[in-house]
Amino acid sequence: MTDTPTHSDLVAQYIRAIPDFPEPGILFRDITPLLAEPEAFAHALDWLTEQCDGADAIVGIESRGFILGAPIAQRLNRPFVPVRKAGKLPADTIARSYDLEYGSAMIEIHADALNSGARVALVDDLLATGGTAEASVQLVLQTGAEISAVTFLIELAALNGRERLRPHETTSLLIY
């Protein structure tokens, strides 16, 4: 009797590790090989969709969160809402700044994107230090919506990003 491969087993083989990108000492987890393999990508989306089930809306963080979040929203027949870098959304926005290793950045969401009390699943490809995800959670809460799930394709556990997202339930398909 053979073991049935899990979603993580099927997906992990298509995550490419690239040393010293974008700078020396960083091991970049590249999802483009996964995107090039429809069956493996479908397994990733299956797992992520399960995590988001029950949400009223799916919020994806720019930019790879769009690649994952939009098909999840379509599968669940829910709205997809983008969180974008400052200055990219055309209507009235709510903004949130957050610290980076060197400096700060700002992200935005349309002010009318979510209904008060809506249950929102936040999706992105990678959880590292958690700064962008934490700022995205705060944007969602600022709209009056609630966080029902925060889910990632990949988590870099040594960077403790999950701690910044407490008390929100956080799940990751692959943990390195």
Active site residues: 64, 101
Calpha distance 9→27 (Å, rounded): 20
Q: Under 8 Å CB-to-CB from 41, ≥6 apart: which residues?
A: 14, 34, 35
Give the 3-state secondary structure of 8-72.
HHHHHCCCEEEECCCCCCCEEEECHHHHCCHHHHHHHHHHHHHHHCCCCEEEEECCHHHHHHHHH
Query: Count of CB atoms within 10 A of residue 64's CB?
Result: 18
Where would I find the beta strands (DSSP E) of 102-145?
103-110, 119-127
Token pair for residue 85?
A: 């870098």
Residue type, 4: T
What span, in angstroms and rounded, lies between the C-alpha atoms of 89 and 82?
9
Amino acid residing at 127: L
